[in-house]
Every structure is written in structure tokens, then in C-alpha cells.
Amino acid sequence: MTAAIEVDDLKKTYRGRKTGEINAVDGVSFRVEEGEFFGILGPNGAGKTTTLEIVEGLRRPDSGDVRLLGSSPWPHSPALAARIGVQLQASAFFEFLSAREQIETFARLYGAGEARAAAMLEEVGLADSANVRAEKLSGGQKQRLSIACALVGDPELVFLDEPTAALDPQARRNLWDLIRKINGEGRTVVLTTHYMEEAEALCDRVAIMDAGRVRAIGSPRELIASLEAPTRISVASGQLDAARVGELAAGEPVREEGGLTVFETRDPQKLLTELAAAGALEDLAVRTASLEDVFLEVTGREWRE
């Protein structure tokens, strides 16, 4: 496989008068394959944006190497810039321009025509809002417009920094469909997010960052499987007598908690079959491990947003 991005031991320290030194990026390495959907997942302040800006060539690292599509992103090269799309913050729009005028401005920068600009508005579902001023668009529409602007130059690689932050669940899901489609067209996508379920739903592989470091890297499935965590199955209490509960638990942990009988099992299929056979599925809930559990395992603390 060909690497779209290779990052080796990146470091970046910010020095502020009030904050002192902050090791925002503290030895980060990863590799993104061509066509891959790669996520950088971490809580606020983890160092995601700084890492992304260095990879995009917008910020210079203190040390470490970056190869972006085979070249160094620093110093800035127009040839490389033409091959990547960077989603700008929605707040970076020109207030008084319509959606169409915004994207046509970007199209000119990339040497793309008005037809391409119109096609991209259509692509992100904004054709009907082409004449609406950017400031009047909804949060989800602004995000769509900024993604359309990032795509107008037909990039091979697209960077999205928290594209769904502050969107309602419906707008977020719509945007997921759009981003999946962009990746489905063969473009490499690098996305940052602080939403666990977003990384789990979208990414082929994720790097989990915390305090400037990559704490774990792999596909969400691999990372979750590596925990070897039991599945938690709960049903309403009182459907089974204590002896039967003990038999079904088969030596694995079981407890009564808030009106529920809670089993922890490594053989969920067997237990579920037995619970069904016993007619004891009232209030059934099944919880498998998630990236949240991976975060807890690798950082030793709960996720905070």
C-alpha cells in the first residue's frame, strides 16, 4: 500500500506568558494509507488540531518529519496544496457572500470553473440554498458549504477538523453520509473528532490521542477486541430465581443492580439463547465494549468532553 501521510515523532510546544509551556504534540507518529478513512480521536486539548495543522503544512513542528503525498508539506508548495482539501472553520466565510459566491471564490483559487462550483453545491445538498448568505445558513449547512469548498479543487486527500462539532444528531448523521461518500469516491479522508461514536461509525482506523500523544492506534474493531472485555447483559430482576441466575452465570460475574440482574459474560450468544429459552428477556439490554472503554484502558481515566 502507498502511504498518503507518514508522520514520524512530531513535537510542538507552545510557550505562553500565562500558560507556560504546553507540549501540545509530544512525539506523534502514524501512517495513513491512500484511500483510507483515518480518524484522530481525543478529548479537547489532546493535540488533534495542532497535529492536523502540521500535517497540512499550516504550522511548522519543532521536530519530527511529515510526508504528505510523498512530499514535505513545509515549506508550502502550491503543487501539493492543489492535491489536498482543507475544510476551513465555518466562521471563516465572508459574511456578505452567498453560498454560491463563497464557493466560486474558492473555485477561482483552485483554477476550477463555475460549473465545478455549482456541481459541488449540488453534491453537498445546497443547490437550493445557493443564493442564501453564509451567515443565514444553519450550522449543518455551513459545515456542508465548507466541505464543498474543500472539495472544489478535486483533492486526493481531504482534512476535516471536527466537522460535526455543535451539530444536532440529525445534521450530524446527514454529514456522516456525505463524508462517507467523499471517501467512497477514493479520496483519503483524515478527520478529527471528540465523538467516540463518530470515530467508531466512520473510520477505518483511528489514533486515540490524549495529552499530545497517540495512546492507541488501529481499527475500532481491533482496538475494542484487544480489550477482551466481557459483554454486559441485563434483564429485569425477579424473572429467574437465584439458583437459576447462578446456573446461567456459569461461574462468570453476576449481580443485582437497580432492579436488574446484570451478567458479565464472554459467551453472550449462549447466555442470550438460555435467557430466551427461560422466557426472561424483559428489559433486556446488551452492552459490548466501545472505544470509550479503550480510552479508559489506555489512559487510565474516564472520557471527558
Ligand X SMILES: Nc1ncnc2c1ncn2[C@@H]1O[C@H](COP(=O)(O)OP(=O)(O)O)[C@@H](O)[C@H]1O
**Interface residue list for ligand X (CB under 6 A):** 14, 16, 22, 24, 42, 44-50
Q: What b/e string do you get for 219-250 counting C-beta neighbours within 10 Å, with b at 16 or more?
A: ebeebbeeeebbbbbbbebebbeeeebeebbe
193: contact with Mg ion by CB under 5 A: no
Nearer of residues 51 and 261 to ligand X, judged by Cβ:
51
The 3-state DSSP class for residue 270 equals: helix
Residue 203 beta carbon to Mg ion: minimum distance, rounded to whole angstroms: 17
Name the phi and psi angles at 7, rounded to 5.
Answer: -120, 125
Q: Are 12 and 62 in contact (CB under 8 A)?
A: yes
Q: Quick one: what does residue 24 bind among ligand X, Mg ion, none, with the CB cut-off 5 to 8 Å set by partner type?
A: ligand X
Cβ atoms 61, 25 nearer than 8 A: yes
Nearest residue (CB) to Mg ion, 49 versus 146 = 49
Question: Cβ closer to ligand X: 24 or 148?
Answer: 24
Which value, in Å, is the radius of gyration of the alpha carbons in the chain? 23
To the nearest whole angstrom, how small is the minimum distance from the Cβ of residue 51 to ligand X? 7
Nearer to ligand X, 52 or 248 (CB): 52
265 contacts Mg ion (rule: CB under 5 A): no
Residue 49 engages Mg ion in binding (rule: CB under 5 A): yes
Question: Which residues pair with residue 192 across a beta bridge?
Answer: 40, 161
Phi, psi of 180 (to 5 degrees): -60, -40
Instruction: State the nearest-atom distance from the C-beta of 35 to Mg ion, in Å.
Output: 25
Nearest distance, CB of residue 16 and ligand X, angstroms: 5
Where do contacts with Mg ion occur on this chain (CB under 5 A)? 48-49
